[in-house]
Chains A and B, each alone.
Chain A
């Protein structure tokens, strides 16, 4: 370490001097000034996250361009808790316990006592209620279900629901709590306008929102074990320094966290030079190979989402019978597209339930799971489904529908996302071989959302699933987001009232999906989710191709030790929604060397 450091300094000096020849000056760099160069003091953890430098970047965590630093935000303004996806339990942080009172439709949270903010003030219920008041100003989703918040004492907060739902638990507990010392006055302004009976479309409301978005706190006040060291910030990197006064600091063995700025291309060389202990960037297979050559461990956390093949029912009437879509599902070997797109980081779904395989057995009984059609690759089944529906192949080997529609289509995909275009290529080749002539149509990624919304496609590769532990959100994504009633345009135009044999009749999918997240009765929700999943599995309004896994390099032994072995339940966590790195750091599993 010392050896490498001094030789680094010497080399730097030499280059600085070479640069100085270009400029004018010459001399030697006092070594003391370089003490902080390239690393924080003490035992460091090095990560990577893109950010903007001031004046664009700033400390107002409610406004765009902030320095929240993604997953590392949870180490600064801490949330009430973080979630263990495998077990469905919580890691208590600023809250210590909570419970739902079904009769009173109230979610009650008990806060951590004795916790302090970095400015010395004590943490308490006022901070929580102020945070949620400002979220009301910003029309946060949680306020669709909340009526009001009460604080019986300094360490108790009652969330009284107007529309009771179990999803409020996650909305509340995952909320990062901001310091009243900085945002208290804004909460008061919100109280004023709310008390006046004003709504979000009033001018006063908008004015407060605008003022808040322009508010620039001079410094950070944190509850967590780290805060940004302003002096360390450069275009290339910044350092988070330890806030020893935080209650959460005692388990954390790192003294500082250095984050490198930039997207994948700029971060890649730093990871290759062994300077980064963990990065969430989506690295292409080749870079991953280079990481493996260096002996780095690659973590593959599930994202609970991935690409699916969507159809436009308005533009391809021949796709309307479900038998045709079932045939397509049987005719595509999903492993081929997955391997071409992301290699080991793509996992084809086996249950085809519409939400991640990892969640299926948590929400459905073994009986229900057994009813799911797994759509294994089987051309004979696919062909008999087609002929059963009255589709015949023409002399050119392309299927023709009973109405005379020749099945020749385009699948739209953004050109810039190499994984999705590789998938589209694989799907098109297999469909063409099956008798549905398919060409890949590449568009610019910025055009994907507007074109999908406007129904400007025949088939398109779009997302399925959702990074939320409740399957309700996956079905919203699969059935509602890109469909007529919700979107601005017609999108896929799939009617949500359908006959489902598995459910013995006609069902309203939209109503079922909406109801699946309502109420406080978890068993009733499970029943609805299972019914929606069976319907989705039978109808296949779109066909999921794979679930995307992360490929996060996590080299061990440079600065960090203690990554849990493969198979540890922590690896079920979504890498963005509840970062395992942060949780492992907070509980002391991940340690500095």
Chain B
């Protein structure tokens, strides 16, 4: 982070500050990354704004279609009903809508839902996001820890039966899509063997349970999150295992490990202090990155288990063509990916001195 001396101040103050800012950005790695992140978010916001509006059908048409499908209403009646319920102007030129959207976005306003008029998109996101974060967060940590341990075990006993068996299991789990695992869980645990009350496990908590830091609440929430968590863990642990195995194998061949062995250090110490730490490093970046991508996976899982979350709200917004809610979901996911990337970049420098940024 070597500071570059600012240029001599030109007479025009605006130009000066722009030039100053430019130099600051060019010279500062952190600032550079932050500016890039903001530009990316802006680009994605713009892209999704137009994309969702170009989708065939609009909120009113979708609603008419729902009325016809759900109540068997004739088209004319459904049209009259929809017309009396929706108060939206879809005819405004798109560029005006866009300017309005960006203007509000700059003030942190994500707009209001079309389907439930007047409800702020931020209110909806705040109500649904914590559930996704909770469920996916736990899964991610469990899966990561489990994968690291098993991966290291596989690497130390390379070629053994344990390694062979775990590699097969890892490949198998890695290859089955998560929604199939979810269905298999329901079919066998719930329907065939009747081990789990899958019907009662739907939703994210039981009726009448009051949120709070009570044991009852925590256990209830875990009860409902069990199946989604198992699904996430089962489908992601294979990847962590195999990556950790590869990483540990590579580390074991490094010169400093051989050196440590030659020095006569105990196996336990080599495993933890030398190999373990260095093998986990590359995985740590991956872990940070996967935080951002959990939203993608949540869509299918939440639909199957009727679990409350951002994926579920996105699917319903897509089918109802609720533009502002769709945009809000994309924005929040994009921001988390960008933020996770940024964090990974910056943290990596701290953790691994070899790649400390700033030269």
A and B touch in the complex (CB under 8 A): yes
A-side interface residues toward B, CB under 8 Å? Answer: 8, 11-13, 15-20, 22-23, 25, 27, 29-30, 33-34, 36-38, 52-58, 62-65, 70, 138-141, 206, 209-210, 213-216, 231-239, 261-262, 266, 269-270, 273, 275, 303, 305, 445-447, 449-450, 463, 466-467, 473, 476-477, 480-482, 486, 548, 576
Q: Are A64 and B63 in contact (CB under 8 A)?
A: yes
- Say yes or no: A266-B202 contact (C-beta < 8 A), given A37-B208, A206-B87, A209-B87: yes
Of all chain A residues, the one with the shortest Cβ separation from B317 is: A56
Contact of A214 among B118, B206, B230 (CB under 8 A): B118
30 residue pairs from A and B, CB less than 8 Å apart = A12-B197, A15-B226, A22-B138, A22-B222, A22-B226, A37-B209, A38-B206, A52-B116, A55-B124, A56-B115, A64-B63, A138-B84, A139-B80, A139-B83, A213-B86, A214-B117, A216-B118, A231-B208, A235-B203, A237-B207, A269-B191, A270-B199, A303-B72, A449-B61, A449-B65, A463-B68, A477-B74, A482-B75, A548-B72, A576-B72
B123: chain A residues within 8 A (beta carbon): 55
- Say yes or no: A234-B222 contact (C-beta < 8 A), given A19-B229, A27-B215: no
Of all chain B residues, the one with the shortest Cβ separation from A41 is: B208
Interface residue total, chain B, C-beta cutoff 8 A: 69
Q: Cα distance A367–B166 when bound, in Å?
A: 81
Q: Within 8 Å of chain A (Cβ to Cβ): is B359?
A: no
Contact of B76 among A65, A305, A486 (CB under 8 A): A486
What is the CB-to-nearest-CB distance from B350 to chain A, in angstroms, rounded to a whole number?
27
B83: chain A residues within 8 A (beta carbon): 139
What is the CB-to-nearest-CB distance from A471 to chain B, in angstroms, rounded to a whole number?
13
A239: chain B residues within 8 A (beta carbon): 207
Q: Are A63 and B219 in contact (CB under 8 A)?
A: no
Q: Cα distance A270–B222 when bound, in Å?
A: 21
Q: Are B85 and A64 in contact (CB under 8 A)?
A: yes
What is the CB-to-nearest-CB distance from A290 to chain B, in angstroms, rounded to a whole number?
11
Q: What are the interface flags for B220-249 relative to A under an 8 Å C-beta threshold, 1 for contact and 0 otherwise?
A: 101101100110010000000000000000
Q: Cα distance A303–B63 when bound, in Å?
A: 21
* Interface hub of B65, B226, B312 (most chain A Cβ within 10 A): B226
Q: Cα distance A487–B230 when bound, in Å?
A: 52
A22: chain B residues within 8 A (beta carbon): 138, 142, 222, 226, 229-230, 233
What is the CB-to-nearest-CB distance from A553 to chain B, in angstroms, rounded to a whole number?
15
- Say yes or no: A65-B116 contact (C-beta < 8 A), given A12-B197, A19-B222: yes
Q: Cα distance A36–B86 when bound, in Å?
A: 37
B230: chain A residues within 8 A (beta carbon): 22
B87: chain A residues within 8 A (beta carbon): 206, 209-210, 213
Q: Cα distance A582–B49 when bound, in Å?
A: 44
- Say yes or no: A446-B57 contact (C-beta < 8 A), given A22-B229, A38-B207, A266-B306: yes
What is the CB-to-nearest-CB distance from A538 to chain B, in angstroms, rounded to a whole number?
23
Of all chain B residues, the one with the shortest Cβ separation from A20 is: B222
Contact of B116 among A63, A233, A237, A548 (CB under 8 A): A63
Q: Are B207 and A37 in contact (CB under 8 A)?
A: yes
